[in-house]
Amino acid sequence: MDDAEISAALEQAVPLEALRNLVLRWKAAGCTREQAEARLSAYRARHPSAPEASDDVVLEVLDFIKGFCGPHAKLFD
């Protein structure tokens, strides 16, 4: 299920916003930082030939999850 949701987010007109919102929905449903990170990392591992632009979006959202961003962009405390 995660792959389909992540792929759908990456196909949106603004994939960064869509993937960020997906992670926020996961968080609202009780997903932890570690679980969200694992889901996106597993997606990357299963899709090594994904377009570079899509991989860049996933990496950027991973940064938001890990807190490697400004405080306004952090997804988890």
Rounded to the nearest integer, the mean pLDDT of the chain is 96
Provide the number of structural domains found in the chain.
1
pLDDT in tens, 26-56: 999 999 999 999 999 999 999 999 999 999 9
Q: Which domain holds residue 17?
A: 2-66
Greatest extent of the chain over all pairs of C-alpha atoms, in Å: 32
Question: Does residue 71 fall inside a structural domain?
Answer: no
pTM of the model: 0.94
Collapsing DSSP states into helix, strand and coil, what is residue 38?
A: helix
Tokens of 30: 């009780």
In a domain, residue 72? The reply is no
Is 73 a member of any domain?
no
